[in-house]
A and B are shown apart, each in its own frame.
Chain A
């Protein structure tokens, strides 16, 4: 197992220039002959944030509490993270099939194909991220010491996304049903991930169920660290409807971290052991 992991990392490292070239290609192709160009990179997160706003506005109307600028910031932070995840998955799932002429003709570590899809989406999302950095002060978000948590959370998000992408790319090569499943999951996944809402709104039990999704810990962590400026190493409680409710425990982060690393290792091993069949099955 260790030999496989080492083999994968060594081979991908040796082909880092190929990874770079493929990533450049993916980025160029997204914007070639596209009139809106790089505006597309901001369009997707904007749409997510906008749909979140509509839902939160409706909720605010019913509960009678006004929509705060903090709510907008919450949705924006998590929305950018989510758009990275869905974007990467969408492109990575098709990456092996879409490059079948390469898979059947030329040898190189096949991991670079889904990896380059994730990297290209990373480039897109970083444009969204820069936009977010400009917008957050306008929404009243200040700089906090808790921003030191952000790099760790982003690494976990990238690890988790990459792990799932490798798995889906590989699965889709053998079974074409996977891409339909992915489409459906990506369409409805946003309701199973706390983007438009906070897990605490689901009540104590509901909040616990919501944390089963490894993305919950990562995205909630981002929100709390960036918008609320909370230190993630301690449990956090908030007063909701007069009662103190836990909204965060460090265990959530630990759980997301374990899941991210596990899926990354699992997918890498699966990819390694199956890739000699790719040229035959694609």
Chain B
């Protein structure tokens, strides 16, 4: 018995863009072409082909939890479909050791006209449970789903939340050796989500191998012990969880507002004390320095924000804090210090800034200037507040003046 649960070795998967020949009329010319030219080798791309996965290799040890992350279209679902035997790789090979259970589209096996009870048996056997197992776990499944009295109602009368909860509950009682989870923790309300997370943690403690695909980085960080980042079908990063999650945030494109066509001010530097990305303890104070220069007299409102996922944790501007805009004379440089105490729950945060003009529009907008990972501290419980302080002073540093003139901002 090996201690490897899953091993993928140079897996490539080819897909075709656009329509295939779906009817016999289109088939005949396609077959004729194929006979004339010979079959296409598995490793080559045809005119409309593209690689959904390119040379993907990784290994998961028994009992490990691997997060698979990546932006939409990166190949995550294709990878899962290969692992669950729905697709066959075009090239390369993979091994799995152990009974695989998948929490992907947990309601796929449901039939709307059948009752909850009937669907539990149907869906249970579709995902690979024995009838006797379903019968013995039936009460637990109903209990977990919270469906209760509605169990003999056709599921078409269920709310979508009830539907999903029931589907998840059936799948949760499969007891696989390798569990593949795709974005299902977003099912149901907060109480149910909490139940699901607790259930996953129990599974991990009992030694189940987990492959977890999600866009929710907090869930990935709290459940997994390593991760791979997919980008256009390639493994862009793998290994250390926090590093890979950091890469994910850097690689993505997010909100980009319209910028002024002729900016009159720009950022010379936006930096944290250590330079690159940060790892901080909860409550640790960090000062970000934002050095701004302008080549005409400007009334600016520099902004500072911290995002977690899609949510803004901090979003403020100079003029909001001070009550007046930041006036920068032509050729001057101003350094704004944003000092933040990271009284925040453990997780990955993106720090960004912008350079707004008081007359409207942005000279600059940078949503991912720095990634800050707040570590886990058992003493910190729940959310706290951020004590934001702000300083501004004219820069006297000749080196910075020089940098500004080299950049062509100063006359």
Q: B-contacting residues of A (Cβ < 8 Å)?
A: 15, 17-18, 20-22, 24-25, 28-29, 32-33, 101-102, 104-108, 174-177, 276, 279-281
Q: Does B27 make an interface contact (CB < 8 A)?
A: yes
Judge whether B407 is part of the interface by a CB distance below 8 angstroms.
no
A106–B102 touching, CB < 8 Å: yes
- 13 additional A-B residue pairs with CB within 8 Å, beyond A18-B128, A25-B118: A17-B131, A20-B131, A25-B114, A28-B118, A29-B111, A101-B108, A102-B109, A106-B84, A106-B104, A106-B127, A107-B102, A174-B22, A177-B24
Question: Nearest CB to that of B23 among chain A residues?
Answer: A177
Docked-complex contact B23 and A175, CB < 8 angstroms: yes
Residue of A with least CB distance to B128: A108
Q: Tell me how far the C-beta of A275 lies from the nearest C-beta in chain B, rounded to whole angstroms.
A: 10
* B105 at the binding interface (Cβ < 8 Å): yes
In the complex, A107 Cα to B20 Cα: how many Å?
A: 23
* Chain A residues within 8 Å of B102, by CB: 106-107
Residues of chain B touching chain A, judged by Cβ–Cβ distance below 8 Å, are 15, 20, 22-25, 27, 81, 84-88, 102, 104-105, 108-109, 111, 113-114, 118, 121-122, 125-128, 130-131
CA distance A279 to B86 in the complex (A): 6
Contact of B24 among A105, A108, A175 (CB under 8 A): A175
Q: Please determine whether A18 and B108 come into contact, CB atoms closer than 8 angstroms.
A: no
Residue pair A175, B87 in contact (C-beta under 8 Å): no
Is there contact, CB below 8 Å, between B108 and A102?
Answer: yes
A28–B121 Cα distance when bound, in Å, is 13
Chain A residues whose CB sits within 8 angstroms of the CB of B20 once the complex forms: 281
A174 and B88 CA atoms in complex are apart in Å by: 17
Known: A17-B125, A25-B122. A105 touches B105 (CB 8 A): yes
Classify the interface of chain B: helix, strand, loop or mixed: loop
Give the Cβ gap from B152 to chain A, nearest Cβ, in Å.
13
Which residue of A has the minimal Cβ distance to B85?
A: A107
Bound-complex Cα distance A281 to B127 (A): 22
Given the complex of chains A and B, what is the CA–CA distance between A20 and B113 in angstroms? 18
Give chain B residues whose Cβ lies under 8 Å from the Cβ of A276: 87-88
Residue in B23, B104, B122, B130 whose CB lies within 8 Å of A105: B104
From B22, B111, B122, B126, A108 is in contact (CB under 8 Å) with B126
Residues of chain B within 8 A (CB-CB) of A101 are: 105, 108
Q: Give A232 to B171 CA distance when docked, in angstroms.
A: 53
Q: Smallest Cβ distance from B314 to chain A, in angstroms? A: 40
Q: A21 touches which one: B25, B85, B125 (CB < 8 A)?
A: B125
Known: A28-B118, A276-B87, A281-B20. A105 touches B108 (CB 8 A): yes
A166-B141 Cα distance, complex, nearest whole Å: 35
A277 closest partner in B (C-beta): B88
CB neighbours (8 Å) of B114 from chain A are: 25, 28-29, 32
A18 and B125 contact, Cβ closer than 8 Å, known pairs A176-B22, A276-B88: yes
- Residues of the B chain whose Cβ atoms lie less than 8 Å from the Cβ of A108: 126, 128
Q: Would you give 10 A-B contacts (Cβ < 8 Å), ordered by A?
A: A22-B126, A29-B114, A32-B114, A105-B86, A106-B86, A106-B104, A276-B88, A279-B87, A280-B15, A280-B87
Residues of B with C-beta under 8 A to A21: 121-122, 125-126, 131
CA distance A107 to B83 in the complex (A): 10
Closest to B83 in A: A107
- Chain A neighbourhood of B111, CB < 8 A: 25, 29
Assuming the contacts A33-B113, A279-B86, asked whether A106 and B27 have C-beta atoms less than 8 A apart, the reply is no
Judge whether B23 and A18 touch: CB under 8 Å.
no
Nearest CB on B from A172, distance (A) = 11
Residue of A nearest to B25 (CB): A177
Chain A hits for B122, CB < 8 A: 21-22, 24-25
- Alpha-carbon gap, A34 to B131, bound state (A): 28
Minimal beta-carbon separation of B18 from chain A (angstroms) = 14
Nearest-neighbor residue (CB-CB) of B26 within chain A: A175
What residues on B are CB-neighbors of A280 within 8 Å?
A: 15, 87
A106 and B23 contact, CB distance less than 8 A? no
Q: Is A29's CB under 8 angstroms from B24's CB?
A: no
Whether B113 lies near A29 (C-beta < 8 A) is yes
How far is A242 from B35 in the complex, measured between Cα atoms in Å? 58
CB–CB B130/A17 < 8 A: yes
Chain A residues with CB below 8 A from B15, complex form: 280
Nearest Cβ in chain A — how far from B20, in angstroms? 7
Bound complex: CA of A66 vs CA of B114, how far in Å?
51
- Cα(A77)–Cα(B24), bound, Å: 37
Complex Cα distance A130/B180, Å? 47
Q: In the complex the two chains form, what is the Cα distance from A197 to B374 in whole Å?
A: 84
Q: Cα distance A20–B25 when bound, in Å?
A: 38
Contacts of B126 in A (CB 8 A): 18, 21-22, 102, 106, 108
Give Cα A21 to B119, complex, Å: 10
Q: How far is the CB of A246 from chain B (nearest CB, A)?
A: 40
Residues of A within 8 A of B130 (CB): 17
Residues in A whose Cβ lies below 8 Å from that of B109: 102, 106
Expressed in whole angstroms, the Cα–Cα distance for A27 and B91 within the complex equals: 42
Q: In angstroms, how far is the closest chain A Cβ from the Cβ of B13?
A: 10
Q: Give Cα distance in the complex from A106 to B118, angstroms.
A: 19
Complex CA gap A210/B130 in Å reads 46
CB-CB nearest in chain A for B13: A280
Q: Which residues of B contact A176 (CB under 8 A)?
A: 22-23
**Bound complex: CA A254 to CA B394 (Å):** 102
- Contact of B86 with A104 in the complex, beta carbons under 8 Å: yes
Q: How far is the CA of A177 from the CA of B28 in the complex (A)?
A: 13
Distance in Å: Cβ of B25 to nearest Cβ of chain A: 8
CB distance from B113 to the nearest CB of A (A): 5
Q: Report the minimum CB–CB distance from A163 to chain B (whole Å).
A: 21
